[in-house]
A and B are shown apart, each in its own frame.
Chain A
Amino acid sequence: METIVFSLLNGTIYGLLLFMLSSGLTLIFSMMGVLNFAHASFYMLGAYCAYTIMGVTNFWLALLLAPILVGAVGMGVERWGLRKVHANGHVAELLFTFGLAYLIDEVVKIIWGRTSVNYKVPESLDFTLFTLYGSNYPAYRIFILFVSIFMLVSLWYLLKKTRVGLIIQAALTHPHMVGHLGHNVPLVFMGVFGAGCALAGLAGVIGGNYFITDPAMAVQMGPIVFVVVVVGGLGSLEGAFVAAMLIGILQTSAVSINASFADIFGFLGMTATSEVGGITIASLAPMLPFLMLVLILIVKPTGLMGDREV
Chain B
Amino acid sequence: MTNIKRAVLAATVSVVALASAATADVKIAFIDPLSGPFGPSGDAAFTSYKLAFEKLNAAGGLNGEQVELTGYDNKISPKESLVQLQKAIDSGVRYVFQGNGSSVSAAIIDAVSKHNARNPGEEVLFLNYAAVTPAFTNEACSFWHFRFDAHADMKMNAITDYILARGDINKVYLIGQDYVFGEAVAAAAVKQLGEKNSAIEIVGNELHPLGKVKDFTPYIQKIQSSGAQAVITGNWGQDMVLLVKAAADSGLTIPFLTFYGGSVGAVAALGEGAMGTLYQVNEGITNLEASPEQYALIEEYKDRFPDYDYYYHRAFLAVDMLKAAAEKAGSTDPIAVANALEGLSINGAYGPITMRAEDHQAQQNLYISTVSDDVKYGVDNIKLGWKLVDGGSVSAASAEEPTTCKMERP
Asked if B221 CB lies within 8 Å of chain A CBs, one says yes
Asked if A80 CB lies within 8 Å of chain B CBs, one says no
Say which residue of A3, A6, A115, A283 sits within 8 Å of B35 (CB atoms).
A115
Q: Are B8 and A114 in contact (CB under 8 A)?
A: yes
Q: What 1/0 flags go to B260-290 for Cβ under 8 Å of A?
A: 0000010000000000000000000000000
> How far does the alpha carbon of A212 sit from the alpha carbon of B265 in the complex, in Å?
13
Min CB gap B41→A, angstroms? 10
Asked if A10 CB lies within 8 Å of chain B CBs, one says yes
Question: With contacts A136-B249, A216-B37, A286-B209 known, is A114 near B5, CB below 8 A?
Answer: yes
Say which residue of B8, B220, B221, B238 sits within 8 Å of A212 (CB atoms).
B238
Asked if A131 CB lies within 8 Å of chain B CBs, one says yes
Residue of A nearest to B40 (CB): A115
Question: With contacts A115-B8, A128-B251, A256-B218 known, is A135 near B212, CB below 8 A?
Answer: no
> Chain B contacts of A85 at CB under 8 A?
none
Asked if B374 CB lies within 8 Å of chain A CBs, one says no
Q: What 1/0 flags go to B29-49 for Cβ under 8 Å of A?
A: 000001111011001000000
> Chain A contacts of B1 at CB under 8 A?
113, 117
> Chain B contacts of A211 at CB under 8 A?
214-215
> Chain B contacts of A22 at CB under 8 A?
none
Question: With contacts A216-B37, A220-B212 known, is A6 near B221, CB below 8 A?
Answer: yes
Asked if B406 CB lies within 8 Å of chain A CBs, one says no
> How far does the alpha carbon of A215 sit from the alpha carbon of B34 in the complex, in Å?
13
Question: With contacts A114-B34, A216-B36, A286-B212 known, is A252 near B218, CB below 8 A?
Answer: yes
Residue of B nearest to A216 (CB): B36
Q: Are A133 and B225 in contact (CB under 8 A)?
A: yes
Interface size of A in residues (CB-CB distance below 8 Å): 36
Residue of B nearest to A207 (CB): B214
Min CB gap B242→A, angstroms? 7
Residue of B nearest to A210 (CB): B215
Min CB gap A86→B, angstroms? 35
Asked if B331 CB lies within 8 Å of chain A CBs, one says no
Q: Are A116 and B37 in contact (CB under 8 A)?
A: yes
> How far does the alpha carbon of A212 sit from the alpha carbon of B213 in the complex, in Å?
10
> Chain B contacts of A255 at CB under 8 A?
218-219
Asked if B229 CB lies within 8 Å of chain A CBs, one says no
Q: Are B251 and A212 in contact (CB under 8 A)?
A: no
> How far does the alpha carbon of A220 sit from the alpha carbon of B37 in the complex, in Å?
12
Asked if B113 CB lies within 8 Å of chain A CBs, one says no
> Chain B contacts of A134 at CB under 8 A?
224, 251
Asked if A214 CB lies within 8 Å of chain B CBs, one says yes
Q: Are B39 and A114 in contact (CB under 8 A)?
A: yes
A sample of 19 inter-chain contacts (CB < 8 A) reads A2-B225, A3-B221, A6-B217, A10-B217, A109-B35, A114-B4, A114-B8, A128-B251, A135-B220, A138-B249, A210-B215, A211-B214, A212-B214, A212-B238, A214-B36, A216-B37, A255-B218, A282-B206, A286-B209
Q: Which residues of A contact B (CB under 8 A)?
A: 2-3, 6-7, 10, 14, 109, 113-118, 128, 131, 133-138, 210-212, 214-217, 220, 252, 255-256, 258, 282-283, 286
Given A114-B35, A286-B209, 13 more A-B residue pairs with CB atoms under 8 Å apart are: A3-B225, A115-B8, A115-B35, A117-B1, A128-B251, A134-B224, A135-B251, A135-B252, A137-B250, A252-B218, A255-B219, A283-B178, A283-B209
